[in-house]
Amino acid sequence: MSSEQPVPLINKTLSLDKLLRYASTAQLSELADIITDSGKGRLSLTESSKKNILAHKRCRTLHIISPDLAHEICAFGGNTVVNAFRPTSQPSYFTVATDVANKIGVRVPENSSICDVEELIIKKILATSLKGKSKEEIEALFNAHNCKLDSQQF
In tens, the pLDDT along 36-84 reads 989 998 887 899 999 999 999 999 999 999 999 988 888 776 655 565 5
pLDDT higher at 2 or 153: 153
**Angle at the Cα of 135 (from 131 to 137), degrees rounded to 5?**
80
What pLDDT shows up at residue 154?
58
52 and 68 in contact (C-beta within 8 Å)? yes
From CA 6, how far away is CA 10, in angstroms rounded?
12
Q: What is the pTM of this model?
A: 0.64
Half-sphere exposure of residue 67: CA atoms within 13 angstroms, side-chain side = 0
Average pLDDT across the chain, whole number: 83
Neighbours of 154 (CB within 10 A): 14
In tens, the pLDDT along 17-41 reads 888 888 899 999 999 998 998 999 8
**Residue 146, phi then psi, degrees to nearest 5:** 50, 40
pLDDT at 8 over 60: no
pLDDT higher at 92 or 107: 107
